[in-house]
Structure 1
Amino acid sequence: MKKRITVLMIITILVLSTVLAGCNAGGTTATTAAPATVIKLGVIGPLTGDYSQYGVAVEEGAKLAAEEINAAGGINGAMVEIIAYDSKGDKTEGVNAYNRLRDQDGIVGLIGGTFSGVTLAIKEIAIEDGMPVLSPTATNLEVTLNAPNVFRACYTDPQQGSTAAIFAADELGATKAAVLYNIEDPYSEGLAVAFRDQFASTGTITNYEGYTKNDADFKSVLTKIQAQDPDVLFLPDYIAKVGVILAQIKEMGIDVVAMGGDGWDGIEIDYADVAEGHYLVNHYAKTDPAEIVQNFISAYEAKWSKSPNALAALGYDSTKIMADAILRAGTTESAAVVAALAATDMDGVAGHVTFDENGDPNKSITIIQVINGEHVVAGKVGGN
């Protein structure tokens, strides 16, 4: 009986101690952390300047995806917030944006960068941090190599460059090709090298010429190219530069079919006249009748009052993929999210996506011809 009373006294003392401790200092006793009510994802891209259409498209696609996710209840009840910063297409600005997103905003995943150069500048820091990174549009081969936490939603420079070369040879019957690219840009150079190497296996490269980002008059180099009479001219750069080059080609009366990569996407908006009849490699076509594509286009146009380009689709897909990974991981802990990203298997606007061992997507590549200011699908290559 004495032992029983002693035990009851001990229990009573322990209970009172626990209650008093819980009341101490205004209830500052450590408790289990509540689940996050907001999941923050960062977006980095050029939101101002000559290339702002790319960064803005990714941001708008990401925000549309987040809006749809939140309308459906979020990720286990947590709302998704997109925080976008302007890289201005500059590596230093991109790194500063990443550091701010990590340190001040507390993001749990990065949708970015938009350009390969900026993404490569961020890469090593993100690897050290273990940050889950999913770039919608950085196509340079080095972006995902030796980076287990870095993925991309787009195909690589070698993939689109070699695909363009194969299409030029097999479908356009080209036996001679010239290449004109931006020697200061990793994206432009990556496509140029891939196209050159692939085309040279079956045809002749008549010219392999470069320019810098500040060049505006291309008549001299175009005269050199014209003298060699190539069947195809490969121009792997972004709209702002390609539009100027195509305008000068038309002005000079050069009879050549031009081709480019996904950097041409949206060229029909401001340069439809000079882009007429030329080809680009792209991630999706707005004329694709697939329900997921048409639903995305309708939702995007309703929200942003304009038609989405491929980068908007990739920003949208990337956000959905990251959210799906966090949902399957059941946590925002970085290693778990990275593991879930690697196991991705889902449909997107730009195709069905799984990732290979490098974090690159297995998906199809679309070849588009600009006809009457519209994108017309000329072919589709690869995919799963």
Structure 2
Amino acid sequence: MKSTVPFIATLLALTSFLRAADGPIKVGEYASLTGKEATFGQSSHKGIVMAFEEINAAGGVLGRKLELVSEDNQTKPGESATVAKKLITRDKVVALIGEVSSGRSLEAGPIAQAAKIPMIAPAATNPKVTEIGNYVFRVCFIDPFQGTVMAKFAQTDLKAKKVAIISSVSNAYSVGLAKFFRETFTKGGGTVAVEQKYSEGDKDFRAQLTAVKAAGVDAVFVPGYYTESALIVRQARDLGIKVPFIGGDGWESDKLLEIGGDALNGCFYSTHFSPENKDAGVTAFVKKFKARWNNENPDAFAALGYDAAYVLADAIKRAGTTDGAKLRDALAATKDFAGASGITTIDKDRNATKGATIIAIANGKLAFNKTVAP
């Protein structure tokens, strides 16, 4: 009697394949949902969730629903690589969305590249992220542009001739942004009088600030994340340093004002988006976001998470498949995609060409200052 085992095995495999083809399209997200920088991941996560809900309500992509598989890296070094491996090997996701942090994106990027799974970073601005390989993309501007914008803002708007830089030695984002700011500021005729360093998690910055005060600068550039940056400004005011402090998109968090309070008045930072921008696309996004998330105002990372999800869905639709190589090619061909954070065009290096928004802090509130074109 002829065995039916091979036939049954083939039938089961075929059934499994058909189910996968008709089932949801799994997309992985790795983010800092808890831990020291949880507001970054929570914001981008809300944007991604909202985008997926809208896409699915409109019929999904290729006739299939999108399914978000989220993993929390807990803001811990090394954890992003671990969860990226799980999402790819165990959950069989077709793409990754992550991360807001450049450092954590640099951890997971090589995993995605090796597996030939496209990865879209919502807000990782360090140039090295997309240099990992041709499967790694981003929907935000990069630090050479952001550093240039803030250096020119310091010189033109703040009339600063002499500045100090306080940066983190243990943060790839901070190191890179400090470098690009320094190069542009000095090229424009300014002087960086003093540079001071700190490590992530530090809480006492009085030694660095004492050196800054002695230098008699016109402004201080702090390209760090919101916790340390807010503490630095508070302690600077306690030491009698009254000049403006300026930063990058790492300051973007509702916790910034909670930690820094009125000490932050007169400070500025660059970011990707402001809910106060009266652009029609921005106002529509803000209205939908507030309706979905209990009247919460979206920040830049919510907008970029939302845009990353939509750029991915658009690429899957244009590719006509979730095949990694074809999806990669479709992402690389993204042009003039209108989203919450502006128009996204992916360049030859898989970076987005985008403008920057300057936020001013006054009377304990964040205020839209201006937009700087790329």
TM-score bracket, shorter-length normalisation: over 0.9
CA distance in 1, matches of 2:62, 2:313: 10
Native 8 Å contact 1:286 1:375 kept in 2: no
**What is the root-mean-square deviation of aligned Cα atoms in Å?**
1.8
What is residue 329 of structure 2 aligned with on the other side?
A: 339
What is residue 264 of structure 1 aligned with on the other side?
A: 251
Q: Report the TM-score, using the length of structure 2 for normalisation.
A: 0.92
Native 8 Å contact 1:42 1:107 kept in 2: yes
User: Does 2:149 correspond to 1:158?
Assistant: no
What is residue 254 of structure 1 aligned with on the other side?
A: 241
Query: What is the one-letter code of the residue matched to 1:45?
Result: A
For residue 194 of structure 1, give the secondary structure of its aligned residue in structure 2: helix
The percentage of counterpart residues that share the same residue type is 35
Cα deviation for residue 313 of structure 1 reads 0.7
What is residue 317 of structure 2 aligned with on the other side?
A: 327
Cα deviation for residue 27 of structure 1 reads 8.8
CA distance in 2, matches of 1:320, 1:213: 33
Residues 304/369 of structure 1: CA separation in 2 closer, same or farther (3 Å cut): same
What is residue 98 of structure 1 aligned with on the other side?
A: 84
What is residue 59 of structure 2 aligned with on the other side?
A: 73
Native 8 Å contact 2:26 2:68 kept in 1: yes
User: Does 2:344 correspond to 1:353?
Assistant: yes
CA distance in 2, matches of 1:295, 1:103: 38
Larger radius of gyration: 1
What is residue 267 of structure 2 aligned with on the other side?
A: 278
For residue 250 of structure 1, give the secondary structure of its aligned residue in structure 2: helix
For residue 61 of structure 2, give the secondary structure of its aligned residue in structure 1: coil
Native 8 Å contact 2:120 2:139 kept in 1: yes
Native 8 Å contact 1:146 1:358 kept in 2: no
Cα deviation for residue 270 of structure 1 reads 4.5
Native 8 Å contact 1:108 1:132 kept in 2: yes
Tell me the matched-pair count.
361
Native 8 Å contact 1:57 1:311 kept in 2: yes
CA distance in 2, matches of 1:335, 1:265: 34
Native 8 Å contact 2:109 2:132 kept in 1: no
* Deviation sequence 1:27-81 (CA, Å, 0-9, x none): 9284783633211111111111121010111111100100010111111221111
CA distance in 1, matches of 2:347, 2:324: 19
* Deviation sequence 1:329-371 (CA, Å, 0-9, x none): 0000011111110111211111100011111101111111112
* Deviation sequence 1:226-261 (CA, Å, 0-9, x none): 111111100111111111111111212212110000
Matches within 5 A, 1:1-12: none
User: Does 2:372 correspond to 1:381?
Assistant: yes
What is residue 212 of structure 1 aligned with on the other side?
A: 199
CA distance in 1, matches of 2:342, 2:368: 15
CA distance in 2, matches of 1:185, 1:333: 34
Cα deviation for residue 220 of structure 1 reads 1.6
Q: Report the TM-score, using the length of structure 1 for normalisation.
A: 0.90
Matches within 5 A, 1:1-384: 25=8, 28=11, 30=14, 33=18, 35-201=21-187, 202-266=189-253, 267-305=256-294, 306-345=296-335, 346-383=337-374
CA distance in 2, matches of 1:342, 1:272: 42
Native 8 Å contact 1:237 1:261 kept in 2: yes
Native 8 Å contact 1:47 1:86 kept in 2: yes
Structure 1: segments with no counterpart, 5+ residues: 1-20
Residues 257/343 of structure 1: CA separation in 2 closer, same or farther (3 Å cut): same
Point out the more displaced range, 193-202 or 177-186. 193-202
CA distance in 2, matches of 1:168, 1:157: 16
CA distance in 2, matches of 1:68, 1:41: 15
Cα deviation for residue 90 of structure 1 reads 2.5
